[in-house]
């Protein structure tokens, strides 16, 4: 059913991986129910020269140690004490880089995702709720059931992974846009890096 992305995809440059993840599918398996979202927005972070990165300057802490693994592991953290953010570790071991998934379009398991996101079924949602379903890092984590328990999971496992194809779902080729990353005004020159990719 799923054509899963393999390790060598992640063990490449953060910007390259970030761009190529646009249009692929983030998939979670919750009690044998799959929820999948087409990735629509992503940001790259590098630990060597990027002051917006948690691991800058190559700083290993209990929080960031997962970023020092080889590519293809989940990095999940909490912001504002209430919202989870989901990242995928990329590049080679000891090169702490990650890509933050900022938005997805749910294409599989949307009824289950609606109950996780809003506590009610799709038919009960307002137009505003439908529009704001999964177009932000905290929103997509809630809709896909992603929390701290996903931190450090292998993206080659069955709990969470990326697929470049899903049986029965048509791939869509959309031009990718580039911009500055969001919410990192503190990061000095790094705030101007054009490391956000979206459709």
Q: For residue 81, name the pLDDT band (cuts at 50, 70, 90).
A: confident
Q: Which residue has the tokens 């000891």?
A: 94
The structure's pTM equals 0.96
Express each pLDDT in 116-175 by its tens digit. Answer: 999 999 999 999 999 999 999 999 999 999 999 999 999 999 999 999 999 999 998 889
Residue pair 21/99 in contact (Cβ under 8 Å)? The answer is yes
Q: Please report the pLDDT score of residue 123 as a whole number.
A: 96
pLDDT above 90: residue 15:
yes
Q: For residue 35, name the pLDDT band (cuts at 50, 70, 90).
A: very high
For residue 47, give the nearest of 26, 69, 31 by alpha carbon: 69
The predicted model gives 87-104 an average pLDDT of 98
Q: Please report the pLDDT score of residue 176 as a whole number.
A: 96
Express each pLDDT in 158-195 by its tens digit. Answer: 999 999 999 999 998 889 999 999 999 999 999 999 99
Give the separation between CA 42 and CA 56, rounded to whole angstroms.
19
Q: Please report the pLDDT score of residue 103 as a whole number.
A: 98
At 45, is the secondary structure helix, strand, or coil?
Answer: strand
Q: Please report the pLDDT score of residue 139 as a whole number.
A: 98
At 77, is the secondary structure helix, strand, or coil?
Answer: strand
Q: Please report the pLDDT score of residue 132 as a whole number.
A: 96
């Amino acid at each position: 059913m799923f054509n899963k992305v393999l390790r060598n995809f992640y063990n490449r440059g953060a910007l390259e991986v970030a761009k190529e993840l646009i249009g692929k599918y983030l998939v979670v398996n919750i009690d044998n129910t799959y929820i999948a979202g087409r990735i629509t927005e992503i940001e790259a972070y590098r630990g060597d020269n990027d002051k917006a990165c948690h691991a800058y300057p190559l700083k290993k802490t209990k929080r960031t140690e997962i970023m020092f693994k080889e590519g293809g592991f989940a990095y999940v953290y909490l912001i504002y004490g209430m919202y989870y953010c989901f990242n995928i570790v990329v590049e080679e071991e000891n090169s702490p880089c990650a890509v933050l998934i900022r938005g997805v379009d749910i294409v599989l398991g949307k009824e289950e995702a609606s109950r996780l996101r809003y506590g009610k079924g799709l038919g009960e949602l307002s137009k505003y709720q439908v529009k704001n379903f999964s177009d932000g890092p905290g929103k997509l984590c809630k809709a896909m059931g992603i929390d701290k328990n996903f931190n450090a999971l292998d993206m080659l496992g069955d709990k969470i992974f990326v697929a470049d194809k899903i049986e029965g779902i048509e791939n869509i080729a959309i031009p990718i846009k580039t911009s500055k990353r969001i919410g990192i005004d503190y990061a000095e020159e790094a705030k101007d890096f054009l490391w956000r990719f979206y459709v």
